Amino acid sequence: MDANQCSLWMFLPLVMSLFTTVGLWIVYFIAIEDNKIFPLTLDRPDGISRPPYISVAGDAPPASCVFSQVMNMAAFLALIIAVLRFIQLKPKTISPWLSISGLIALCLTSFGMTLLGNFQLKSNELIHNVGTSMTFGFGTVACWIQSILTFKINIKNEGKKTGIPRVILSATITVCVIIYFIFEWRKLHIYAPRVQWVLVMCFVTFFGTLAVEFRHCRFEIICVENQQHQEILNSMSENMSDVSEYQTDQL
């Protein structure tokens, strides 16, 4: 496809992916600089007891301020992407329940992002953990649903080319979630943060792959005044009435 024919909407998933990735790593390096966490590369931390979990990195200012802003923006962009993706697939989908489930899963994922971003681990651990579970749990489900829809709908015959990387990312995310909770259960706080970072990077990358389909679509917002909308409905009603009378005369 010619680059000049690509829709500018393709940049929305790319911006979301790039912005979130850069923002989270900024949070990480701020926390490292302030000695709040030890680096991911260290197997035996010296003098710093807190492990480099993303939530721990964004637990205290100034990193917490950046973390909240990054997660709020990521949640907002993810919600827009979810709605646009649903609108894009709605006329083409064979299984409406699958498309609706994907929308719901992505919306709940976005809500989870806001919870873990605005309720830091230190201030409210319960709500923060609920947000983390929603983000990882519903996010994993959303990735699998979008992967299935990619193959089923096969936009511009690119389903296989796009779907295979998404299945690989979804499988990697699923494996990382399982390994992460196993490491958490065994209190392996050296390795669990590394798995968490891989998980989040794969998840953010998955959002970026939606640019492939978004480059084929142009979304428009039409604003119509109530009076004008009523006139359009009346016109449609009159046309339907004329057709009905004509069919009656024919009978």
pLDDT per position as a tens digit, 14-27: 999 999 999 999 99
Q: Report the distance separating Cα 195 and Cα 173, nearest Å.
A: 10
Q: How far is CA 69 from CA 72, 117, 182, in A?
A: 5, 8, 30
Predicted confidence (pLDDT) at residue 2 exceeds the cutoff of 80 = no
What average pLDDT does the structure give for the chain?
A: 85
What is the dihedral angle through the alpha carbons of 182, 42, 25, 134, rounded to the nearest 10 degrees? Answer: 10
- pLDDT tens digit sequence for 90-124: 877 677 888 899 999 999 999 999 999 999 888 88
Per the CB < 8 A criterion, the answer to whether 99 and 89 are in contact is yes
Residue 249 scores a pLDDT above 50: no
Residue 201 has pLDDT above 60, yes or no: yes
- 56 vs 30: CA distance, rounded Å: 12
- What pLDDT sits at residue 244? 38
**Is the model's pLDDT at 247 over the cut of 50?**
no
